[in-house]
Structure 1
């Protein structure tokens, strides 16, 4: 542990996309424990019911009782109205007392992994996937950076939840690999353009989530499908909690190179 590691993440405004389940839900829980009283968590996802249950959970936690404000913004981030609702809520919560803005771009979809690349002939289908997984991510990040501008004493961190698929080809995962690779380069460019930002692409590893269930049941490539099934049956999948703990350690230590890709197995 670095001797200069922070004890907390400050009085933070945290915006977490895809917060209703899986890794995003765990990130919200862990961030709530590491921010100072007076911090705000903006939680967004398409499922309002799951968001509300998380809001109730966090409100009853120690952090909630000591002054953490949790706000749910049910939204489809592939739609302009959804983006704007998140930006508006974030701008309203951006008080002079906030000293750390943390954006966690976690929302993503797997896409149709039951088919190979040569089957994707419908432009509308591909555009729809990229709209949610790439376009909305870029536009939300850009709008939030404009709405929450730099000022003295303010740290701004942008976290991209990525994957090994951003770096390596997975047969029958053309959409997912393309989306993750595009997002990773997007955030590398952002880090190069704005050196005052702290930008991180974090790969949480193979997690025991609903997405992994779809992966091992629907993947078209037989070898890849068997790999996922074997990982599940042999207990090699990581819990969201174990992986998220390493992300939180990265944020507290704050020693990563901005724009870097860091995998859970690197730590």
Structure 2
């Protein structure tokens, strides 16, 4: 009985280990599809629209949960030129979310005829004179077909669009009560109205109406929120509020 249990356990262990090993091995087909998919997005990011043609089948279909559908390579290229790539001062940059992109081979009679890449990607807004701004998160599914002229993208589904989660990269410093007290007081803002700044557990607390926001110190005069790209700079009896680097509010300290 013990021997059978031991054999069964070893067999299970070998099965698990073999699947882990094989799961890590990438086939030539997968390597080719992933490389082409990556190359396509490189042309997308720099708006080389004519160069995108070589990645599509003539009957390419594109489905977007916010922007509708497009059918055929002519419509897709024309729409991309008109909407995405018509303004040199505005671009989008797409990046796949690391670890989310999965490969699924499509077979018929034991032969691979296509493949699906599916995962998540984020988009950055690029505007001249401004830092790239993380804007959106979505899911995608790409169907690649093995044609006489090689692998071609045949169907694209882009869905589940929403805001990208903010990742705070600012480093908080510790300020003394005396340093925090320099900014305590009442402020008047054009949009938000009267605001009150108080101290709270080594931070500043910004009160606007019935809402309170924690402000974390990055320096003696610069504070930030951890869940949004919002900064609060105290200078010359003013509180300057920036979102994504742009000034959105300038409140004056009340005397």
Q: TM-score range by the shorter chain?
A: under 0.3
Q: Which has the higher helix share?
A: 1
Greater RCO (CA < 8 Å, at least 6 residues apart): 1
What TM-score, normalized to structure 1?
0.20
Q: Which has the higher strand share?
A: 2
Considering only CA atoms, is the larger Rg found in Structure 1 or Structure 2?
Answer: 2
What TM-score, normalized to structure 2?
0.21
